[in-house]
Chains A and B, each alone.
Chain A
């Protein structure tokens, strides 16, 4: 069964704008991870945030985690056309559970 649910399902923005994607989950977790999938390719790991962390940064990526609300957000700042991809959150608690992803389109 799925664990994480991403919101929105699809997001379209202009280059240079920020993109925010949300993930909600239902059970307790050990950590939460975000992955990117370009069309026709495998998933690429972006960032991992542990259950005792609230915020992490990696380049233009900022991830927050609110365990009380069972939710996480991924912020991509100053987006580029190359950021066009599907973004998945995955929660880990004994095994990895993925959501259905948010399809991000960045228009040049």
Chain B
């Protein structure tokens, strides 16, 4: 009965590789998000999707691309990985876009070597 799930939980890869992180929510929510949490625990929003439309796109490198095949999924694809991409990435969802509480996945720890 997991609400927001992410795979994989851990991802270790070399610089220059391309990788994807998957996210699924079974809450019936309309909006999903991707966050990056750095080593100092700062949590920064990267993207959000509402009904398959990108509604927030922070100034992240275009090597990062969100892909939403349907309302329940928002995957994060990263091209040409760099050392600075190492972080924990969290997926989240909310009932609607806006000021509603968000439900977070368990996170994916990405390590780029």
Contacts and interface: CB of A to CB of B under 8 A. Distances in A.
Tell me if chain B binds chain A. yes
A22 interface: no
A25 B21 CA distance: 32
B107 A30 contact: no
Interface stretch (A11-19, A54-62, A73-81, A90-98): A90-98
Nearest to A32: B99
Interface residues of B, number: 22
Interface in B42-63: 42-45, 48, 56
Interface in A79-104: 86, 88, 92, 95-98, 100-101
B99 A30 contact: yes
Contacts of B4: 42
Given A95-B45, A96-B45, A100-B41, A45 B107 contact: no
B90 A48 contact: no
A41 B37 CA distance: 12
Nearest to A48: B101
A27 interface: no
A78 B87 CA distance: 34
Interface of A: 2, 30-31, 33, 35, 40-45, 48, 86, 88, 92, 95-98, 100-101
22 contacts: A2-B44, A35-B104, A41-B106, A41-B107, A42-B4, A42-B90, A42-B105, A42-B107, A43-B43, A43-B90, A43-B92, A43-B102, A45-B102, A92-B98, A92-B99, A95-B48, A95-B56, A96-B45, A96-B102, A97-B45, A98-B42, A101-B41
